[in-house]
Amino acid sequence: MKHIITILTLATLFVACSHKDDFDATGTFESTEVTLSTEAAGRILSLPVQEGDPICSGNQIGAIDSTQLYLSKLQLLKNIKSISASRPNVAKQIATTIEQIAKQKTEKKRVENLLRSNAATQKQLDDINSNIRVLESQLAAQKSSLQNSTESINAQMSALDIQIAQIEDKLSKCRIISPLNGIVCAKYAQAGELATVGKPILKIANLSQMYLRAYVSSEQLANLKIGQQVNVEAQFGRSNNRKYKGRIVWIASQSEFTPKNIQTKDSRADMVYAIKIAVSNDGYIKIGTYAQVLF
């Protein structure tokens, strides 16, 4: 009996010693999560995604009613067309005056020829020159008036173009777009419900790249650096653990008290430093999965 007790005691010590240094740090996995909110108010027309569905960045995953905005845009387009139709045709409106000036100049040449042969008087020539000056003044005034009218119309149309751009921006916000590649973790709204600006409708998590938040002592910290490769073992049960390669992407600048659910290599360490280790997910790692790290 004494031999059996001795053997069991030695076996227990051997197992304890063999598992004592199996890890350098422990932690749990987390991911980049985004709470997606609406940027427009209105009734949700469609939101077909469900919890667990994969979505891609830039894809439309829902829509908010935009009927009134679209009708406002159509009205502005009609206003632009109406204002554009009132733009004066400068060439046509000054054509008559230009033609009159041309006739007077032709008449002036004829009178000058007659004056050289004493067949016309100086007064006739002076009258023609006066008419030309009057017509040229009228032409300048017409051009100025028409130019001001055109600029005013162009300014009105530019203002309407800006209003249309504002409406198009609001219309784009009626489309619910995924900001990242990931999985729908939670769905807070359904099609048919009223959405308000800033109201959360989905929570999306990028599960392809997971981050293990682990904790190390100050002694371990001295040997760690950003970009360092480490070995990670995700805990799914004694026979289902999976090993991964990880990379340290963040190290806390300040220490904190050791979380209650975290084991450290040095059980006497009251203050630890948090680190983040990036791990490519093969689909098995879940948020909150426990893991051990070996540096």
Q: Verify that 42 and 187 share a domain, yes or no.
A: yes
Q: Which residues of the chain have pLDDT under 50?
A: 1-20
3-state secondary structure of 96: helix
Q: Verify that 258 and 283 share a domain, yes or no.
A: yes
Whether the CB-CB separation of 267 and 26 falls below 8 Å is answered with: no
CA distance 82 to 76: 10
Q: Verify that 148 and 245 share a domain, yes or no.
A: no
Q: In this predicted structure, what is the pLDDT of residue 265?
A: 63
Q: In this predicted structure, what is the pLDDT of residue 23?
A: 83
CA distance 233 to 29: 11
The answer to whether residue 17 is domain-embedded is: no
- Does this model's pTM top 0.85? My answer is no
The answer to whether residue 177 is domain-embedded is: no
Backbone torsion region of residue 191, taken as left when φ is above 0, otherwise alpha when ψ lies between -120 and 50, otherwise beta: beta
The answer to whether residue 5 is domain-embedded is: no
- What range does the domain containing 103 cover? 67-172
The answer to whether residue 2 is domain-embedded is: no
| Cα-based distances in Å from 130 to 108, 121, 123 | 11, 15, 10
Q: Verify that 59 and 187 share a domain, yes or no.
A: yes
Write down which residue in 172, 205, 225 finishes a domain.
Answer: 172
Q: In this predicted structure, what is the pLDDT of residue 209?
A: 92
The answer to whether residue 7 is domain-embedded is: no
Q: Verify that 259 and 208 share a domain, yes or no.
A: yes
Q: In this predicted structure, what is the pLDDT of residue 2?
A: 43
Whether the CB-CB separation of 277 and 246 falls below 8 Å is answered with: yes
Q: Verify that 237 and 187 share a domain, yes or no.
A: yes
Q: How many domains does the chain have?
A: 2
Strands 194-195 and 256-257, by their bridges, are unpaired
| CATH number of the domain to which 37 belongs | 2.40.30.170
Tokens of 164: 């249309």
Q: In this predicted structure, what is the pLDDT of residue 237?
A: 78
CA distance 277 to 214: 8
Q: Verify that 215 and 245 share a domain, yes or no.
A: yes
Q: Verify that 55 and 201 share a domain, yes or no.
A: yes
CA distance 124 to 141: 26
Q: In this predicted structure, what is the pLDDT of residue 269?
A: 59
The answer to whether residue 47 is domain-embedded is: yes
Q: In this predicted structure, what is the pLDDT of residue 260?
A: 67
Tokens of 62: 């829902």
The answer to whether residue 15 is domain-embedded is: no
Q: Verify that 52 and 132 share a domain, yes or no.
A: no
Q: Verify that 275 and 136 share a domain, yes or no.
A: no
Strand partners, 141: none
The answer to whether residue 160 is domain-embedded is: yes
